[in-house]
Amino acid sequence: MSVPSAHERMLPTVGVVVLTQGTRPDDLDRGLRSILAQRGVQLDVVCVGNGWEPTGLPGGVATLGLPTNLGIPAGRNRGVSLVTGEYLFFLDDDASIPDPNFLRDAVAIVRSDPSIGLVQPRVVDPSGLTPPKRWIPRIRKGEATHSSAVFSVWEGAVLLPRSVFDATGGWAEPFFYAHEGIELAWRVWDQGLRAWYAGNLEAHHPVILPTRHAAYYRLNARNRVWLARRNLPAPFVPLYVGSWTAIQMLRWARNRPALSAWFGGWREGWTHDPGERRPLSARTIWRMTLAGRPPIV
């Protein structure tokens, strides 16, 4: 094993968790190589196979094969224990980082502003398709290049200090898929920090409809209820769920199958255990309100 030089010991250390089911080998290879090309940081990279034993990967990447698909949040969490670093970076297998200085610059954002506890980059389709507005995690979307504090994150490329991640309790494993980025952002805010959308940083991801997942509508609704039950003080739970129920009824009023599946998940959200409950503090809710997004919508 080589001994790090004095210069290398001064570089930020980043543990990288790349999650995959092994179904997109070309995309996975592209994403891993974009990470290994990063400059100005020390890397510790693991590829977690969710129901797949990773093989054929570039050198310098550790692997963890999970015998079954545990879901996206749990898969990411399993990888965290296998990497070291002051910072953690999570990358999905269909995402990549075009700029080799990306991680260095993302770390610099956190180090330059102690109030920032999480960074999500701007997301761009590498083929030139117009990115969907949902990739900008703001109510008032504005320009994609505009940076701001946010209250949810697109989960495909996220960096945060490891100490902050540990304090959040990790990704919400019961969710399996959908809305785990909202809970992570809320729990960053609950530490007196801010989740930050960095419009000056760029990640690549193809434009793909989220409804491609068969369980999209059900999990979208179930996890919306669980998000409230896990994280909001009791008076806010019906307000938050009620506002989103009204929004979805308006959004999918002409899509009866979607609405039926959504309400199936909605009922499941109230009748099944969402896991650990950690309500946001009154101070956090006040800070979020002052910043423009009280947790009722």
Which residues are CB-neighbours of 159 under 8 A, at least 6 positions away?
A: 14, 87, 88, 89, 90, 103, 106, 107, 110, 118, 119
Confidence at residue 44, expressed as pLDDT on a 0 to 100 scale: 98
pLDDT the model gives residue 209: 75
Instruction: Tell me the pairing of strands 61-66 and 87-92.
Output: unpaired
* Average predicted confidence (pLDDT) for the chain: 94
Q: Give pLDDT tens digits for 6-32.
A: 556 689 999 999 999 999 999 999 999
pLDDT by residue (tens digit) across 278-296?
999 999 999 999 999 999 8
User: Residue 210: which pLDDT band, with cuts at 50, 70 and 90?
Assistant: confident
Average pLDDT over residues 192-216: 88
Say how far apart CA 6 and CA 14 lie, in whole Å. Answer: 17
Res. 168: pLDDT tops 70: yes
Report pLDDT for 217. Answer: 92
Q: Determine contact, residues 35/83, Cβ cutoff 8 Å.
A: no
Could you please state the CATH topology (level 3) that the domain comprising 14-208 is classified under: Spore Coat Polysaccharide Biosynthesis Protein SpsA; Chain A (3.90.550)
Residue 211: pLDDT over 80 = no
Confidence of residue 161 (pLDDT cuts 50, 70, 90): very high
Kindly give the interhelix angle for 216-231 and 256-271, rounded to the nearest 10 degrees: 30
| C-alpha–C-alpha distance, residues 44 and 293, integer Å | 35
- pLDDT over 90, % of the chain: 89
Q: What proportion of the chain, given as a percentage, has pLDDT over 70?
A: 96
Instruction: Give the model's confidence band at 34: pLDDT under 50 very low, under 70 low, under 90 confident, else very high.
Output: very high
User: Is the model's pLDDT at 40 over the cut of 60?
Assistant: yes
pLDDT at 5: 60
Q: pLDDT of 130-148, one tens digit each?
A: 999 999 999 889 999 999 9
What gap in Å lies between CA 136 and CA 144, rounded to an integer? 7
What predicted TM-score, i.e. pTM, was given to this entire model?
0.94
Average pLDDT over residues 206-230: 88
